[in-house]
Amino acid sequence: MLEIGSGSGWFAAVMARLVGPKSQVTGIELIPDLATQSRANLAALGIGNVEVITGDGTRGHAAGAPCNSAVITAATWDVPAALLDQVAARGLGVVPVELRGGNACTGHPASRTWTAPRRRAKPCARGPPAAARAGRPR
């Protein structure tokens, strides 16, 4: 299970419990202080099946590929291309994508294109992508 945008580690902790102690959750967090906080929070809770990596989640985590599911818990304008190759053929991707007039969360089986969600998008609340906050172009 791959999470992009680990923040405080809350979602990774929930996923670690759901996947069980024999499975691994990998979180990627762009902001070093948040990644450090996430690791500390998970350690304080005694959660050992989560690894939090400091890095750019748009690159995914090739070393852990293929993964059965990927969840982007940070806002994004598009599905990062690296995830197309890193989620298993029958895996699931859940991505909040910024749309004109608001954000929508979509979850669907991963395909080579990720262009046709199998479920309706639902409104969700997300801030701007970290790249925008850091002054990087869309």
pLDDT digits (tens, 9 = 90+) for 46-99: 999 999 999 998 888 889 888 888 888 886 777 777 777 788 877 787 777 665
d(CA 68, CA 30): 22
pLDDT for 125 equals: 45
Where is pLDDT greater, at 119 or 23? Answer: 23
Q: Which of 19, 4, 1 is nearest to 68 (CA)?
A: 1
Which residues make beta-bridge pairs with 69?
92
DSSP three-state, residue 111: coil
pTM for this prediction: 0.73
pLDDT digits (tens, 9 = 90+) for 2-13: 999 999 999 999
Tell me the two tokens of residue 133: 């906050």
Write the CATH number of the domain with boundaries 2-133: 3.40.50.150
Give the strand order in the sheet containing 2-4: 50-54, 25-29, 2-4, 67-72, 87-99, 102-109, 122-123
Residue 97's pLDDT is 64
Cβ of 93: how many Cβ atoms within 10 Å? 23
Task: For tokens 């197309």, name the residue.
Answer: 84
